[in-house]
Amino acid sequence: MMFRFNFRREFLKSTGFFHRKLHSGLEDAGPMASRLKSRSVVRFSGPDTVKFLQGLLTNDVRRFGDSSGEKSSAVPTPNMASVSTPPMYAALLTPQGRFLYDFFLYSPSRPEEKLDRTGSGPGSDSGRDGSVELFADVDVDVLDELLETLKKYRLRSKVDIENVAEEFSCWQRYGRGLTGSSSVGWGGGVDRAGETTASGNKYGWQWYEDPRLECLGYRSIFPSDATPPLVEADKETDESNYLLWRLEHGVAEGSAEIPKGEAIPLEYNFVGLNAISFDKGCYVGQELIARTHHRGVIRKRLIPLRFIDSNGKELNQKIAAGAEVVESGTGKKMGTVSTALGSRGMGVMRVEEAFKPSAELIVKDSEDVKVEAIKPTWWPAEWFQQNQSGVAAA
């Protein structure tokens, strides 16, 4: 549909990010929350739900079918009745192992886990019919295409796939100073701090630690007619700030930032983002992913970037996605900017050259714009060690 043609670009225009100067970063920003209009919500239900997704996605979806209950990443609360399954990040790939769509999967709290806002246990609830229900937040720009793709794969599987974007919205809490000492939702316990800001009477949802990285904060889906717990007026902020937060950590999300049909998931750090299981067995595109992973060296990775002038001053609104980053002296291509906002960006770069102390990177055809590659604090040490030979020889 035409209104989905480029949500992120139109979103940034509407919020003024193409016209106003950004601050240099969010390093000192306190807790924030954003409703993610760039994401939509899909519901899967039916007895074959887990089996269906298990054969498609990169992560081990069987966890959602384990009634024993694994340790949840939801923030623990004194009133939590029981532990719900934490969300999962995963992707659907092409048969050739290239990225198509990303998914954040959620399991709604079981009836016996749901508490109301007073902290009381559940009343009567309908009995179970043996089916499994999962929700996923997905990229709104490709929602119609994604639904069509899933239904092609469904064949005879007993699973219903529904667009529930009108009923549910995706939210993210992030920034400095987030704490896990408070109750965080209606599904796992009563949230006294958020009671006054929450509206509606639908229970059973709660904040969870982002399944990718701790530094990204908390994520969940909530009824669209309710303000989530812990989201106060002075803490709710534009989604562009969430994009900037991810840029500073080098984490891409959605097909606008992870090129559909082109991106290699390992170069976009999907292993470090807990999106791939190497123990689950077959899924679409699994062969290339396994072969590349076991080869041991990923020479190009998505890296956070900062755009500065010759004096080290940050430059705003100078760079667009698709700009080439080259070595100043030789003109050798080091990578390409995939996403940019203000003075920050990220791009798939040659790791060895990008982090050489002697490297001087610039934007091709814009020699006045220098590029600083930033080492993410969350990267495993072995990602640097894989390329140490080249760095040591420099």
Q: Report yes or no: 25 and 344 within 8 Å, Cβ to Cβ.
A: yes
The per-residue pLDDT for 130 is: 61
AA identity, residue 133: E
The β-bridge partners of 305 are 345, 373
Tokens, residue 254: 């959605």
Q: Report yes or no: 186 and 79 within 8 Å, Cβ to Cβ.
A: no
CA distances to 209, 274, 354 from 59, rounded to whole Å, are: 17, 8, 30
Q: Does domain 26-185+202-249 have CATH number 3.40.50.300?
A: no
The per-residue pLDDT for 66 is: 57
Q: Report yes or no: 315 and 307 within 8 Å, Cβ to Cβ.
A: yes
The per-residue pLDDT for 387 is: 61
Taking residue 262's Cβ as centre, other Cβ atoms within 10 Å add up to 10
CA distances to 50, 63, 108, 316, 346 from 21, rounded to whole Å, are: 46, 45, 41, 6, 19
Average pLDDT of each block of 10 consecutive residues along the chain (394 residues)? 42 38 55 95 96 97 67 36 76 97 89 41 41 95 97 95 97 82 39 35 74 96 91 86 96 96 97 96 94 88 95 86 92 95 95 90 91 95 68 31
Tokens, residue 37: 């209009």
HSE toward the beta carbon, residue 20, CA cutoff 13 A: 9
The per-residue pLDDT for 295 is: 85
AA identity, residue 82: S
How far apart CA 269 and CA 359 sit, in angstroms, is 23
How far apart CA 226 and CA 197 sit, in angstroms, is 9
Query: Helix (H, G, I), strand (E, B), or coil: what is residue 104?
Result: strand
The per-residue pLDDT for 108 is: 84
State the residue for tokens 């062969």.
Answer: 287
Fold held by 298-386 = Elongation Factor Tu (Ef-tu); domain 3 (2.40.30)
Number of helical H runs and strand E runs in the chain: 8, 15
DSSP β-ladder status, 132-139 and 32-35:
unpaired
- For the chain, residues classed under CATH 3.30.70.1400 are 26-185+202-249
Nearest to 131 by CA among 165, 108, 100, 151: 108
How far apart CA 191 and CA 130 sit, in angstroms, is 31
Tokens, residue 142: 């490709």
Tokens, residue 366: 């814009």
Query: Which ranges of 180-322 would DSSP assign to H, the alpha helix?
Result: 239-249, 286-295
Q: Going edge to edge, which strands form the sheet with 168-174?
A: 32-35, 168-174, 218-223, 208-209
State the residue for tokens 């040490």.
Answer: 381
How far apart CA 101 and CA 151 sit, in angstroms, is 14
Query: 354 CB contacts (<8 Å, ≥6 apart)?
Result: 303, 334, 335, 361, 373
- For the chain, residues classed under CATH 2.40.30.110 are 298-386
The per-residue pLDDT for 26 is: 62
CA distances to 327, 329, 353, 383 from 356, rounded to whole Å, are: 11, 14, 5, 14
CA distances to 44, 97, 270 from 94, rounded to whole Å, are: 21, 5, 15
Q: Would you mind telling me the total number of residues written for the chain in this entry?
A: 394
The per-residue pLDDT for 148 is: 97
Longest dimension (CA), the chain: 72
Nearest to 345 by CA among 248, 256, 235: 248
How far apart CA 196 and CA 192 sit, in angstroms, is 8
Q: Which helix (H) or strand (E) holds 382?
A: helix 381-385
Taking residue 353's Cβ as centre, other Cβ atoms within 10 Å add up to 22
CA quadruple 126, 49, 102, 281: dihedral sign: positive
